[in-house]
A and B are shown apart, each in its own frame.
Chain A
Amino acid sequence: MMVKDWRKHILPFLPPPVQSILTALEPAAVCRVEEIRLRAGQPLILETNEGEIFLGPEGLVADPGPAYRVTREDLHQILLQMTEFSLYARDEELKRGYLALPGGHRAGFAGRVVLEQGQVKLLRDLNSINLRLAREVKGAALGLLPHVYCREKKRVRHTLIVSAPQAGKTTMLRDLARLLSDGDERSGRPGFKVGIVDERSELAGCYQGKPQLDVGMRTDVLDGCPKAEGMMMLVRSMSPQVVVTDELGRPEDVQAVEEVVNTGASVLTTAHAYNVRELIRRPSLAYLLENGLFERVIILSRRQGPGTIEMTYAGTSLAEWLQTEEGNVC
């Protein structure tokens, strides 16, 4: 697994006390960090793949007591640094509760929401920031590839990757996009034209329009665009062979998937759920499965680390989806 040192991208945004604490962090701990949690008046916490770490001015501490206490001013300064002192420049992202950062990382925000005509207008009086560190794991999706790519027909199957949050869906989807885009001459897998609709800048980690993570050489990224609109824009303008998008859920997304499938492009996407049974409780997703729009559903978990493949399903009707466990891959 390749984990880059995230500190060169993240530290410039942080206030000096937090900067010095994280600078002194030992390399082994740096590699394990998945999130940095900053909450006003609360201890500085690093979320790692092995649990929480509390950090104090002297480094790791066993309990929250001596840990560095994040102040409201720290949070305000971080937001100003991330927006280059210009909230208006990133207000569309802030309305959705996050900012994309260099290196493909993201900052999530919580605070007081200001509404205007029922819509989120602005987020102010921040009370917490979650720095989610992008983990580019090249090769993570190699195990998924035989389920997604049909070697005989040389085509990509319409595939839905399903898991609970933080089980590696996005990492897998990104790596699948890269593998399909680059192709592999040795195995005879051609490179596909891949179009990514990255509504929340999570897949390609675009910062100022440029992908920060490797999504392949034949990949076009539509960053910050609503999924449903973006999928149709890509189909019309970039003629992708594979359309990739994250976290399907809204009825308009489902309608767009149906349209993309009918244009002949393959669809790779993800959804939040623990299993197929839970998935079909969501009417819009159940519609896609019932009408045979997906050829494969892959269930991931964290059982043996993020991205563990629990099950792959194939089916053309709801009954089949509920009963069939895929045994024969293409």
Chain B
Amino acid sequence: MFVKCIGALCILSASMWWSNLQIAKLKARVQQLEAFRLGLRLLAAEVGYTATPLPRALGQVAKQTEAEGVSAFFHVVSHNLQEEKFSDAAAAWLAAVETMRGRLQLEAKDWMVLSRAAAGLGGLGRDDQLKQLAATEALLAAHAAEAAANFTGSEKMWRYLGVLSGMAVVILLL
């Protein structure tokens, strides 16, 4: 009986861990999208107020962005530009998208928006560059709002699902 109880506890713990993992992923997407928005706003400030060239501007943004994966993304773009391995800033940005795709909790549609942000990066005058960054930020804001709603709506569902699916397995095994 004692062994059965231990086994049931293990199954319940595992199913709750799995459900918490799903919740964490949903939460991480919201946080990362918000961090990208903040990063783009910081980049716009570097472009608009001090006209700092991209390699240094992106380095500054990487330092000021707290979310680890997002900070790493900006750092990778900055590094790519400093290494001069890429023909332009757009190529360096897209390479960073590919590098970081598996490391962040963003969905394909989020990456699509970030990939589109590469178009014209560094190749526009100041006003147009600011407009382009603002457009990307607005799209990410919509995605972040959708992700936040999704998180709020799904959090309870995943918690219940974790506990109930664990209990169902335990009952079946008993």
Taking beta carbons and an 8 Å cutoff, which residues of A are in contact with B? 77, 80-81, 83-91, 121-122
Contact = CB atoms under 8 A, between A and B. Distances in A.
Give 9 closest A-B pairs by Cβ, nearest first.
A84-B53, A86-B53, A88-B126, A85-B89, A85-B122, A88-B129, A89-B53, A86-B54, A91-B125
A60 B56 CA distance: 39
B55 A85 contact: yes
Nearest to A87: B123
Interface string B62-87: 00000000000000000001001001
Task: Give the interface size bracket for B toward A.
Answer: 20 to 34
18 contacts: A80-B123, A83-B122, A84-B53, A84-B81, A85-B89, A86-B47, A86-B51, A86-B54, A86-B55, A86-B57, A86-B122, A87-B122, A87-B123, A88-B122, A88-B125, A88-B126, A91-B125, A121-B125
Contacts of A83: 53, 122
Interface string B8-24: 00000000000000000
The prevalent SS among residues of A at the interface is helix
Given A83-B53, A86-B53, A91 B92 contact: no
Nearest to B52: A89
Contacts of B124: 87-88, 122
B88 interface: yes
B53 A85 contact: yes
A86 B133 CA distance: 14
Given A86-B53, A121-B125, 18 more contacts: A80-B87, A80-B88, A80-B122, A84-B54, A84-B55, A84-B81, A85-B54, A85-B81, A85-B122, A86-B47, A86-B52, A86-B54, A86-B57, A88-B51, A88-B122, A88-B129, A89-B51, A90-B51
Contacts of B51: 86, 88-91
Contact of A122 (B53, B57, B125): B125
A291 B124 CA distance: 47
B170 to A, nearest CB: 58
Interface string B87-101: 111001000000000
A77 B53 CA distance: 16
Contacts of A121: 125
A316 B174 CA distance: 115
Contact of A85 (B92, B125, B126, B128): B92
